[in-house]
């Protein structure tokens, strides 16, 4: 499931952006490439645990950037206030439904395309962000509202980035990924209509410079889902744990 690969990949590249802000690099271009591996649970019934390797890519040019699936523009990029806007392929939902054989008869899901805007504040205590994503390619016509706080501390050559996030998914989003339409309902899979749902996330990302150009990155992330998702007949768990490890090389 591609979406599971991105859970910690997003943390990796968002941390990379945080590091860029702290480094205060004045170059017009910044390109990092790397390789990563992730192991992640599934909350779907009979969903498979995934263990995969994948490439990582992070590029910035002046105010434009490509990070964690976001193609964005920094409208405001000050030392304190930050404001971005752009497009991204929404990888937060599992379009494979855990590769579970129980759901083969359900309609095929596709990755939504979102327009997003992010407003943040880089303080002495860490990065505070609020983000709004709106689906624009008629997959579910829903939205995601999220707020997060990323702290930073350093111990010798190790950098630590604990992050706390709260996401609110619209009813349309929840129904798309966890709902069961009456047309496809069975005794085993009764009809279910998704409602607005809140998901809490806690992660710790650790970064170490192996050399001035090479970075070693690892991350542990846990997500907790509320009843609006766990009540779905497709779901059998209210928590997902993901473990990530990877390396990045800064080309320029």
Q: pLDDT, tens digit, for every residue of 122-168?
A: 999 999 999 999 999 999 999 999 999 999 999 988 999 999 999 99
Residue 48 lies in a domain: yes
Residue 130 lies in a domain: yes
DSSP notation for 166-215: EEEE-HHHHHHHH-B-GGG--SSS--B----EEEEEEEEEEEEESSSSEE
Q: What is the pLDDT of residues 36-90, one digit of tens each?
A: 888 888 999 999 887 888 888 889 999 999 987 799 999 999 999 999 999 999 8
What pLDDT, on a 0 to 100 scale, did the predictor assign at position 6? 37
* Model confidence at 120: pLDDT above 60: yes
Residue 251 lies in a domain: no
Q: Could you tell me the two tokens for 49?
A: 């645990």
What pLDDT, on a 0 to 100 scale, did the predictor assign at position 27? 61
What pLDDT, on a 0 to 100 scale, did the predictor assign at position 194? 92
What pLDDT, on a 0 to 100 scale, did the predictor assign at position 48? 87
The model's pTM:
0.84
Q: Please tell me the total count of domains within the chain.
A: 1
Residue 250 lies in a domain: no
Q: What is the pLDDT of residues 18-43, one digit of tens each?
A: 555 455 455 678 898 988 888 888 99
Residue 246 lies in a domain: no
> Helix (H) and strand (E) counts for the chain?
3, 13
What pLDDT, on a 0 to 100 scale, did the predictor assign at position 26? 54
Residue 13 lies in a domain: yes
What pLDDT, on a 0 to 100 scale, did the predictor assign at position 25? 52
* Model confidence at 7: pLDDT above 50: no
Residue 223 lies in a domain: yes
- How far apart CA 2 and CA 31 sit, in angstroms, is 23
The range of the structural domain enclosing residue 85 comes to 2-204+219-235
Q: What is the pLDDT of residues 212-245, one digit of tens each?
A: 899 899 999 999 999 999 999 999 999 999 999 9
Residue 121 lies in a domain: yes
Q: Which helix (H) or strand (E) holds 228?
A: helix 227-230
């Amino acid at each position: 499931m591609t979406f599971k690969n991105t859970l910690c990949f997003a943390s990796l590249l968002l941390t990379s952006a945080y590091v860029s802000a702290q480094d205060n690099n004045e170059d017009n271009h910044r390109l990092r490439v790397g390789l990563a591996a992730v192991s992640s649970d599934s909350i779907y019934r009979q969903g498979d645990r995934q263990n995969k390797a994948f490439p990582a890519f992070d590029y910035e040019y002046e105010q434009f950037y490509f990070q964690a699936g976001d193609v964005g523009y920094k409208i405001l990029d000050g030392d304190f206030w930050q404001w971005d806007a752009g497009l991204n392929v929404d990888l937060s939902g599992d379009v494979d439904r855990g590769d579970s054989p129980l759901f083969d008869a359900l309609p095929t899901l596709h990755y939504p395309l979102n327009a997003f805007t992010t407003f943040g504040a880089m303080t002495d205590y860490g990065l505070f962000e609020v983000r709004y994503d709106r689906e624009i390619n008629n997959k579910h016509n829903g939205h995601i509202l999220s707020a997060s706080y990323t702290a930073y501390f350093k111990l010798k050559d190790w950098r630590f980035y604990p992050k706390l996030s709260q996401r609110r998914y619209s009813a349309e989003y929840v129904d798309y990924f966890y709902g069961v339409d009456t047309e496809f309902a069975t005794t085993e899979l009764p009809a279910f209509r998704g409602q607005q749902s809140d998901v809490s996330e806690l992660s710790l990302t650790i970064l170490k410079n192996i050399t001035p150009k090479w970075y070693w990155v690892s991350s542990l992330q846990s997500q907790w889902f509320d009843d609006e998702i766990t009540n779905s007949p497709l779901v059998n768990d209210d928590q997902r744990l993901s473990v990530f490890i990877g390396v990045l090389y800064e080309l320029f």
